[in-house]
Amino acid sequence: MMDKHKLELVQLFSNLRLYKLANYTNEVLFDVGQEEQDEVKEVDALPSKVDWRSKKWVTTVKGHVPLPFHKVCSIKLRRKGRCNSCYAFSTVGALEGQLAKIKQQHMELSEQSITDCSANNKNYGCRGCLSYHAFECIRDHGIQTHKSYPYKAKKNNKCLFKSNKSVIRIKKFRRFMNNKDKKLVQMVADVGPISVLVHCSHSSWRFYKSGIYDNVNCDKKHIDHFVLLVGYVDQNPKSFWIVKNSWGTSWGENGYLRIIKGNSMCEINFCAAYPEI
């Protein structure tokens, strides 16, 4: 497992207080219990193409405006303020996919409830943190719909979550580290949309418009952004992943990015997670 220097962690979550992260190693950041350490069982036959948008397992891209950019992908939001809540959007997206798949319930869930209410699970609101801790919050307390607890692009002064309005609590969640392409493909094909970590600070990512993203300068040491992996295409000459971002439809291909498969571009293979309901 890749170790991270303390300074790298500060750069990764630069809006977090130093004393919160000064002693964090990679193992501490990703120590979320043995249930998340399972191995993916390999199979021989996998489909050459998966896109869960076609099954309506993926909800609409939320309306962020991706300007201005900062070192760790903070973004100026349409309404007001600046909020590093990508982990909430990635978490919610993975859960929305499972609700659609298993319960045939197509609904948008509340990123704001995670932003406001997961401090006890080691998340830091608009100062960012980890989707795995957001899964813990949903496991322990549940989550409301986006309509009943809408996104405000800022952290409220207090948690406004109401348990009687919760629509789902997950049973547990699973996390997989340092995934080979075949294992990540299998997760997407078998499970559905997956929460993954990437490096997004390179200008080629920030100002991506279209095409298959392939840039050797996309840093593999400074992962700093959660996105939702919703599919893949295996084809010649370039196979690619399909990624849903949380920067609005004006970014990329209507809010999505196609990123080359095969060499863990932007460290997309580093860590993947999903809930079980």
For this structure, is 245 an active site residue? yes
For this structure, is 86 an active site residue? yes
Question: For residues 161 and 148, is the Cβ–Cβ distance under 8 A?
Answer: no
- From the candidates 64, 73, 83, 86, which is the catalytic residue? 86
- From the candidates 225, 266, 269, 271, which is the catalytic residue? 225
Round to whole Å and give the CA distance between 230 and 89.
Answer: 13
Q: What is the 3-state secondary structure (H, E, C) of 4-33?
A: CCHHHHHHHCCCCCHHHHCCCCHHHHCCCC
Round to whole Å and give the CA distance between 246 and 226.
Answer: 9
Question: For residues 28 and 6, is the Cβ–Cβ distance under 8 A?
Answer: no
For this structure, is 121 an active site residue? no
Token pair 């952004």: residue = 225
DSSP state of 98: H
Question: For residues 154 and 83, is the Cβ–Cβ distance under 8 A?
Answer: yes
The radius of gyration computed from the CA coordinates of the chain, to the nearest angstrom, equals 17
- From the candidates 84, 121, 123, 245, which is the catalytic residue? 245
Token pair 């309509």: residue = 147
Nearest to 228 by CA among 36, 80, 37, 98: 98
Provide the annotated active-site residues. Answer: 86, 225, 245
